[in-house]
């Protein structure tokens, strides 16, 4: 089976969030199950500079406003994945964030940039670009690749099935309809009131294109697959998703358990496992010392690695800081985001430097070290399609405290009747719920340390690797290909 993954990001070369991780990990896991999985990615500098065994597949000339478009083929360093690259210097040879310019605003030509990605994806899947390779399945990821299933549908004679994965429904790839003539799309799929149309409240939408034209839809957790069909979670697209709910699957993301493994992680101070949990405290005391926190192995250390936004619940943690200090819980935070939240956390750290440490920005090594050091990891998102941080916490025995939404609800459990639990859960996205959960965590920590360690072992025994998720995708692909018969 041949599968082409069309994506705007791939770890470690280009990553702004979980999409980049998934775009590398899922094809890798599929390869292990015998699938010929390949990527199509834009030719950003970080991609071009990290492509080995490079060959020219096709020179497409001028296309969608780009003076010259070529398709390259090679292997990405580190992952070793086979990748096709859309080499359009005018559109993609830009340093920094793949979507934002130096002014931190969307590039004005994002619509044409990612329409080009989708167009090449469809033609590559058909076999029009690489005469030696044709896909059985085109798997498009998030709005940036949303037009790939649309272009694919324009040639129904070609026997290629499409899957469109929704990683975050909030970002919908909206564009003015007057820009549509430059996208090589037939007028009828832009008309309002037509069942199979990109039109969305007077705009065009890449996301809607993927939702309407793909043969099957998937998203990144079972709970999120339900949430996006509701008015609360559907971001205005719930009507479209309700119509397609019979062809919508929620498949939980995995994590790379070779990278995230406390027994072998080279980035943490002391390696440990389920049978030598005592060594975990060495990571905590080292981190307390380095961050200027009171060094005390008996104090609970909560960590948070997150964008600092209200969606991620950062404002809730800020409000909860007085209660955390009262409960004897230290906080070490790594993240960046809204300026007022950054400033507020900095101020909190200045006021209580022995209890609160704040590192603005992101550092992969520090993220590993914090998760290895923490007793509790805070993931109080008001909305979270899947989430990976809580799974890293589970893997390291750093108990997640989460809001019961999306993939957080699918991976973290807290039973108050004595059944096995692996974390702490609250509902509603309100400060009262977070404080109640913190109080339960503190009570277990201070009064039942053996119960805490039992919960740690429950967390660490579970597996969240990509193997089972890849098997679900493979089953989905096989089901789609069976429809040709």
- Vertex 310 angle, CA 308 and 315, to 5°: 75
User: Who contacts 161 (Cβ-Cβ below 8 Å, separation ≥6)?
Assistant: 136, 137, 138, 215, 216, 477, 480, 481, 483, 484
Res 417 pLDDT > 70: no
Spatial distance between the Cα atoms of 233 and 459, rounded to a whole number of angstroms: 28
Residues 76, 191 within the same domain: yes
Q: Is residue 193 part of a domain?
A: yes
Section 361-370 average pLDDT: 94
pLDDT at residue number 16: 84
The answer to whether the beta carbons of residues 47 and 14 sit under 8 Å apart is: yes
Q: Is residue 268 part of a domain?
A: no
Res 418 pLDDT > 70: no
What's the pLDDT tens digit per position in 139-166? 999 999 999 999 999 987 778 999 999 9
Q: pTM of the full predicted structure?
A: 0.92
Residues 223, 332 within the same domain: no
Task: State the sign of the Cα–Cα–Cα–Cα dihedral 199, 201, 203, 209.
Answer: negative
Q: Is residue 265 part of a domain?
A: no
Res 340 pLDDT > 90: yes
Enter the tokens of residue 60.
């497409």
Residues 231, 360 within the same domain: no
Q: Is residue 272 part of a domain?
A: no
Least confident of 12-21, 348-357, 420-429: 12-21
Section 45-51 average pLDDT: 95
pLDDT at residue number 191: 85
With bands split at pLDDT 50, 70 and 90, how would you rate the model's confidence at 420?
confident
Q: Is residue 428 part of a domain?
A: yes
Section 440-449 average pLDDT: 97
Spatial distance between the Cα atoms of 378 and 359, rounded to a whole number of angstroms: 15
pLDDT at residue number 485: 66
Q: Is residue 144 part of a domain?
A: yes
Residues 440, 477 within the same domain: no
Residues 381, 452 within the same domain: yes
What's the pLDDT tens digit per position in 276-313? 999 999 999 999 999 999 999 999 999 999 999 999 99
Res 415 pLDDT > 90: no
State yes or no: cis peptide before 12, omega within 30 of 0: yes
pLDDT at residue number 193: 75
Residues 473, 446 within the same domain: no
* Other beta carbons within 10 Å of 136: 19
Q: Among all chains, which residue has been given the structure tokens 């990144």?
A: 220
What's the pLDDT tens digit per position in 230-288? 999 999 999 999 999 999 999 999 998 988 999 999 999 999 999 999 999 999 999 99
Closest CA to 444 of 418, 475, 476: 418
- For the chain, what is the domain count? 2
Section 306-326 average pLDDT: 96
Residues 236, 297 within the same domain: no
Q: What's the chain's average pLDDT? A: 95
Res 354 pLDDT > 90: yes
Say what angle helices 466-482 and 18-32 make with each other, to 10 degrees.
70
* Separation of first and last alpha carbons in the chain: 16
Residues 456, 474 within the same domain: no
User: Who contacts 141 (Cβ-Cβ below 8 Å, separation ≥6)?
Assistant: 5, 6, 7, 8, 19, 22, 23, 165, 167
Section 347-351 average pLDDT: 97
Res 130 pLDDT > 70: yes
Residues 214, 291 within the same domain: no
pLDDT at residue number 314: 98
Section 27-37 average pLDDT: 97
Q: Is residue 447 part of a domain?
A: yes
Res 114 pLDDT > 80: yes
pLDDT at residue number 104: 83
Task: State the sign of the Cα–Cα–Cα–Cα dihedral 264, 266, 267, 269.
Answer: positive
Q: Is residue 259 part of a domain?
A: no
What's the pLDDT tens digit per position in 60-103? 999 999 999 999 999 999 899 999 999 999 999 998 889 998 88
Residues 177, 237 within the same domain: yes
Q: Report in angstroms the alpha-carbon separations of 376 from 212, 261, 300, 301, 413.
A: 41, 17, 8, 6, 14
What's the pLDDT tens digit per position in 181-221? 889 999 889 888 777 899 999 999 999 999 999 999 999 99
Residues 358, 473 within the same domain: no
Which residue range(s) make up the domain with 186?
A: 2-254+467-482
The answer to whether the beta carbons of residues 375 and 300 sit under 8 Å apart is: yes
Residues 171, 40 within the same domain: yes
Q: Residue 73: give its domain's CATH number.
A: 3.40.50.2000
Q: What percent of the chain is helix, strand and coil (3-state, nearest 5)?
A: 40, 20, 40
pLDDT at residue number 156: 75
């Amino acid at each position: 089976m041949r599968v082409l993954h069309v994506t705007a990001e791939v770890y470690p070369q280009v990553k702004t969030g979980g999409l980049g991780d998934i775009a590398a990990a899922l094809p890798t896991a599929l390869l292990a199950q015998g699938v010929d999985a390949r990527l199509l990615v834009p030719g950003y500098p970080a991609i071009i500079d990290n492509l080995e065994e490079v060959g020219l597949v096709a020179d497409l000339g001028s296309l969608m406003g780009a003076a010259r478009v070529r398709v390259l083929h090679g292997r990405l360093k580190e992952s070793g994945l086979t990748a096709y690259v859309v080499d359009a210097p005018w559109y993609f040879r830009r340093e920094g964030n793949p979507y934002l310019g130096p002014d931190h605003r969307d590039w004005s030509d994002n619509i044409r940039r990612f329409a080009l990605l989708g167009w090449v994806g469809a033609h590559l899947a058909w076999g029009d670009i690489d005469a030696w390779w044709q896909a059985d399945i085109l798997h498009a990821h998030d709005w940036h690749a949303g037009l790939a299933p649309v272009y694919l549908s324009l040639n129904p004679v070609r026997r290629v099935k499409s899957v469109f994965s929704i990683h975050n429904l909030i970002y919908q790839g909206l564009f003015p309809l007057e820009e549509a003539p430059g996208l090589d799309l037939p007028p009828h799929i832009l008309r309002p009131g037509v069942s199979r149309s990109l039109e969305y409240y007077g705009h065009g939408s890449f996301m809607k294109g993927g939702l309407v034209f793909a043969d099957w839809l998937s998203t990144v957790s079972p709970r999120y697959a339900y949430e996006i069909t509701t008015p609360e979670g559907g971001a205005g697209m719930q009507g479209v998703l309700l119509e397609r709910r019979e062809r919508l699957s929620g498949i939980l993301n995995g994590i790379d358990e070779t990278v995230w493994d406390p027994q072998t992680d080279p980035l943490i101070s002391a390696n440990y496992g389920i049978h030598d949990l005592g060594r975990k405290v060495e990571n905590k005391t080292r981190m307390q010392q380095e961050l200027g926190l009171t060094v005390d192995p008996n104090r609970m250390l909560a960590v948070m690695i997150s964008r600092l936004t209200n969606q991620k619940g950062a404002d809730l943690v800020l409000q909860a800081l007085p209660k955390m200090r009262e409960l004897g819980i230290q906080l070490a935070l790594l993240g960046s985001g809204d300026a007022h939240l950054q400033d507020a956390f900095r101020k909190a750290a200045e006021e209580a430097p022995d209890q609160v440490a704040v590192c603005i920005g992101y550092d992969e090594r520090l993220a590993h070290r914090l998760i290895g050091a923490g007793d509790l990891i805070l993931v109080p998102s008001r909305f979270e399609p899947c989430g990976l941080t809580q799974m890293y916490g589970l893997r390291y025995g750093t108990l997640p405290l989460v809001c019961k939404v999306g993939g957080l609800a699918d991976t973290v459990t807290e039973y108050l009747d004595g059944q096995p639990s692996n974390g702490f859960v609250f509902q509603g996205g309100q400060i009262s719920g977070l404080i109640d959960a913190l109080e339960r965590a503190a009570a277990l920590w201070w009064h039942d340390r053996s119960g805490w360690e039992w919960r740690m072992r429950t967390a660490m025994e579970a597996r969240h690797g990509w193997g089972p998720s890849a098997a679900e995708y493979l089953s989905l692909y096989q089901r789609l290909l069976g429809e040709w018969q």
